[in-house]
Chain A
């Protein structure tokens, strides 16, 4: 069953158009929603939760019309906001129990679900302490727990890795993966970093200026966007090593563009790495660097088809 469908969804405010005829389908699984700040992600979430009416078009979440069935949608959906939303002077348990009650769970059920959910997001003894003393990573887990406590069928996670250090980021991404893999809950996760969504999502949707830029499976996406940054030294035989390597890569059938001393090679498949290695060895130049480039959303935008530029 399709989780989210939008059809010509448009939201106009007096001065800006936040969503512009957005049409897309999101299937069960983990879907990454990518867009720069102001691309319309927050507006989309508001409409999907039935909290703001669309100017035109229609949308359905879990088969329910957002225009008329807001409360029913919100009973079955969890939402984790981007910003801080936790009172510092209560414990995680008290807070999540209260939020479970606000989702319509009876007192006993709320307490049981809270204990389960906090354990699943990785909060143990500390759940009885006041939230004010938590690290950012722990706070993010509490925010995730309150979105999951009523056992929704879909969660909307708004920038869940914001403010986390690399380790915390990896843990959060792993947790998001588990929400779908182990809990069977579909996830729509937003980020402005394409790289981290590549690792977590089954499917990626890119919106820009309120309209759909791209929607495809993560596999297609990675192949189209990943590249290898290569830097080589000069030798006596090749006074301009970079140029020599560029030529050699082209002969080996790789698509490469030079960026100063950096060569960006499109990764087609696993063999690309070997081809680069062999070509460099053949030339006899030194390999200073060879690393996979994580694409930021801006680069996807640079590569977008012409004709989309004018708005």
Chain B
């Protein structure tokens, strides 16, 4: 309790430290919106290890580089070989690299929410002006934004390369725009799924395993069933199967809505308008549903 700093050294008058006692704070107190923004930016930076230890920067930065590297190579090839179009569609890029995105989500979603649960920091947030919805919005927004940075940056690299290669400006810009839209939707859907799984347990390891399991198992299952349907000639079913895994769901939405070529077996996207709308509704439902689940989850972990 000794708040009286060294006064022993009284001879050197000009360098003495004075204990000025307790000072009240009468400065500005920002409202909930600012607090939400502060938590959002802290969480977004944290998702790339910024403001955290050097060790926690390694994985997200490597994954970020891995995401961008193929785009840079594609650019180089396009420019030097004088291709007339990019060898990869903007909308297809994330699907090719889904394993990287999955790894990133599995590592960062638990990082973002499990820590607060595990160390019981959540009650400290809720004893402050913010409400539950502010916390969930900030965490959800930050995770989605982090994923968007991860998935949209390589698209920017591709786009810049395409322009350098003097490909058609109109076509490229349209493709790039669609790619960004699809990346945004993908980020929101994956952020929701990742956070719900990660927030279910205070154990970070379980969170990581759960996210990887849900993403890979669902994708593997959908792909194999699609292949079986294809070999039996049941192509109509293929277009519906994509609903059951996050990545193929986004693929379905973008192939119907944005006119992208479907990555499903044989290129069979959602059959018709009704199917397309169902895909879009399921995607939006997933986002809304994960938000609702997170709100419910945090109702239980108020003050312990």
Query: Which A residues contact B (CB, under 8 angstroms)?
Result: 42, 45-46, 49, 51-52, 70-72, 74-75, 77-79, 81, 83-90, 94, 98-99, 101-106, 109, 113, 116, 119-120, 122, 146, 150-151, 171, 174-175, 178, 182-184
User: In the complex, are the beta carbons of A81 and B25 less than 8 A apart?
Assistant: no
B123→A101 contact, CB < 8 A: no
Main secondary structure of the interface of B (DSSP, over half): loop
Known A49-B127, A81-B124, A171-B1: A102·B29 in contact at CB below 8 Å: no
B128 within 8 A of A: yes
Nearest 3 CB-CB pairings of A with B: A79-B127, A151-B25, A104-B30
Q: Which residues of A contact B259 (CB under 8 A)?
A: none
**Known pairs A72-B129, A78-B127, A101-B42 / 5 extra A-B pairs, C-beta < 8 Å:** A85-B121, A90-B52, A99-B124, A102-B39, A104-B35
Q: How far, in whole Å, are A99 and B30 apart by their CA atoms in the complex?
A: 13
Would you mind naming 18 contact pairs between A and B with Cβ atoms under 8 Å apart? A51-B303, A71-B130, A74-B127, A74-B128, A79-B123, A81-B124, A85-B120, A85-B124, A101-B38, A102-B128, A103-B29, A104-B29, A104-B30, A104-B34, A105-B27, A109-B27, A113-B25, A151-B25
Check A87 against B119 for contact (C-beta < 8 Å): yes
Q: Which residue of A lies closest to B25 (CB)?
A: A151
Min C-beta distance of B29 to chain A, whole Å: 4
Q: Separation in Å of the A87 CB from the closest CB of chain B? A: 5
A15→B38 CA distance, assembly (Å): 40
A residues near B25, Cβ cutoff 8 Å: 105, 109, 113, 150-151
Which B residues are within 8 Å of any A CB, using their own CB? 1-3, 21-25, 27-32, 34-35, 38-39, 42, 51-53, 115, 119-121, 123-131, 302-304
- B119 & A85 in contact (Cβ 8 Å cutoff): yes
Given known A-B contacts A103-B129, A113-B25, A122-B2, A86 and B121 have beta carbons under 8 A apart: yes
- Asked if A106 and B27 sit within 8 Å, CB to CB, the answer is yes
Provide the residues of chain B in CB contact with A122, threshold 8 Å.
1-3
| A45: B residues at CB distance < 8 A | 303
B129 near A71: Cβ-Cβ < 8 Å: yes
Quick check: A52 and B124 within 8 Å, CB to CB? no
Chain A residue nearest to B115 in the complex (CB)? A87
Beta-carbon contact of A81 and B1 below 8 Å = no
Question: How many angstroms from the CA of A77 to the CA of B126 in the assembled complex?
Answer: 12
CB within 8 Å for A85 and B123 given contacts A46-B303, A74-B129 = yes
Which residues from B are CB-within-8-Å of A88? 119
Q: Is the CB–CB distance between A104 and B129 below 8 Å?
A: yes
Q: Are the CB atoms of A51 and B302 closer together than 8 Å?
A: yes
Q: A81-B304, A101-B42, A175-B1 are in contact. Are A182 and B21 (CB under 8 A)?
A: yes
Q: Inside 8 A of B22's CB, which chain A residues have their CB? A: 116, 120, 182-184
Chain B residues near A113: list those with CB within 8 A.
25
Q: Check if A102 sits within 8 Å of B1, measured CB to CB.
A: no
Contact residues in A for B1 (Cβ distance below 8 Å):
122, 171, 174-175, 178
Indicate whether A84 sits within 8 Å of B120 (C-beta atoms), given known contacts A116-B23, A174-B1: yes
* Cβ–Cβ contact B124 & A75, under 8 A: no
Report B213 CB to chain A, min CB distance, Å: 26
Which residue in chain B gives the minimum CB-CB distance to A178? B1
**How many Å lie between the Cα of A169 and that of B40 in the bound state?**
38
Q: How far is the CA of A36 from the CA of B121 in the complex (A)?
A: 25
| B266 → chain A closest CB, angstroms | 49
Complex: how many Å from CA A87 to CA B120?
8
Shortest distance between the CB of B208 and any CB in chain A (Å): 17
Chain B residues whose CB sits within 8 angstroms of the CB of A119 once the complex forms: 3
Q: Which residues of A contact B129 (CB under 8 A)?
A: 71-72, 74-75, 103-104
Closest to B39 in A: A102
Q: Which of B2, B23, B25 has the most CB of A within 10 A?
A: B25
A77 to B42, CA, bound (A): 24
> Known contacts A71-B32, A103-B129, A146-B124: does B42 contact A98 (CB below 8 Å)?
yes
A42 touches B303 (CB 8 A): yes
Q: Is the CB of B120 within 8 A of A81?
A: yes
Which of B42, B120, B121, B302 counts the most A-chain CB atoms under 10 A from its CB? Answer: B121
B residues in contact with A74, CB < 8 Å: 127-129
Q: From the candidates B3, B28, B121, name the one contacting A120 in the complex (CB within 8 A).
A: B3
Cα–Cα distance between A184 and B28 once the two chains are bound (Å): 20
B-side contacts of A42, CB under 8 Å: 303
CA–CA, A119 and B119, complex, Å: 24
Cβ of B124 and Cβ of A105 under 8 Å apart? no
Return A35 CB to nearest CB of chain B, in Å: 16
Report B127 CB to chain A, min CB distance, Å: 4
Distance from A204 Cβ to chain B, minimum over Cβ atoms (Å)? 23
With beta carbons under 8 angstroms apart, the residue of A85, A86, A98, A150 that contacts B29 is A150
- In the complex, are the beta carbons of B29 and A105 less than 8 A apart? yes
User: Shortest CB–CB separation between residue B210 and chain A, in angstroms?
Assistant: 22
